[in-house]
Amino acid sequence: MSSKPIAVVTGGAGFIGSHMVDLLLDRGFRVRVIDNLACGRQSNLDHHSGDPDLEFLRKDINELEPGEAVFGDARHVFHFAGIGEIVPSIERPTSYMETNIGGTVRVLECARHAGVEKLVYAASSSCYGLASTPTDEGHPIAPQYPYALSKYQGEQAVHHWGKIYRLGVNSIRIFNAYGPRVRTTGTYGAVFGVFLKQKLEGRPLTVVGDGTQRRDFVYVTDVCEAFFRAAQSSRSGEIWNLGSGNPQPINRLVELLGGEVVHVPERPGEPRETFADIRKIRRELDWEPRVPFEDGVARMLAGIERWRDAPLWDPDSIAIATRTWFEFLGARS
């Protein structure tokens, strides 16, 4: 029997989750991945094929029950599993509430019954809505769409379990994570997946509005380092914002990628700027973003072939995909 500590990663075949697996294996952990492969790809873990310290369980978190063997003797749980993206959450909010809240409660119950030392929850900065910037952890909560609401209520459940059941918990509100393996699903969403496919095909990059809006991009390995420190920390019941603290204009990303541009309408409910105040996580976890934006983009360009099978978007298909967005979020403007 291995004496290595055990960590469970829900959503461990997904974008951030698979990088978390990389870090944990590198730090000497045995890792158990739970993923239903609805959003993730098992191929994200292929480079660990045959590693005796990695176990994979294909299962939906909505099906988890206390006493699941996969949680047995686990020291840490990193909870990334859930449903992302804005438009689908407007179209089918029940699924988001069931998975991002109910599924999270099931993970909490499994962790509680297994006696887990620390659970770290992947929260979302979308809980702040149209926030003033830089945004600190005490900023008012104002979710603009069901995805944001479901992630915030999942976070509330995490801290409730921490208080009532004395489960060690922390949550990290991620701003704009990017890096290799970022989602390439058929749903219109993350800017990197959209732009990289367009660049591969020699098509114009679809810039929302005038491109001067800024996003607090943080590279995925920096994200995982923060989660690891949150698990290892003696602190519990904490909430930390996680970004680079150095937001970048979308036009800067366009400049780094290169290529022609076509503009599409600005969308209601989207902030002009996301900007994480990261003083708290710097102070309490001694964490710093290590990967400059230019280096991160260069790394993604080096692996651009990975986006060969991603969906290709143009202004017409984007207009169709975001019709629901304008219909419901625009009605309040």
219 is catalytic: no
Q: Give the burial string for 192-217 (b: 16+ CB within 10 Å, else e).
A: bbbbbbbbeeebebbbbeebebbbbb
Tokens 């801290």 -> residue: 159
Helix segments in the chain, DSSP class H: 15-26, 86-91, 93-97, 104-114, 146-165, 191-200, 220-232, 250-257, 279-285, 293-302, 315-321, 323-329
Helix (H) or strand (E) holding 123: strand 118-124
- Find where tokens 């609401």 sit: 149
Q: How far apart are CA 171 and CA 120, in angstroms?
A: 5
| Catalytic site residue from 147, 152, 178, 188 | 147
Q: Which amino acid is at 305?
A: E
Q: Which residues contact 69 (CB under 8 A, 6 or more apart)?
A: none
The catalytic site residues sit at 147
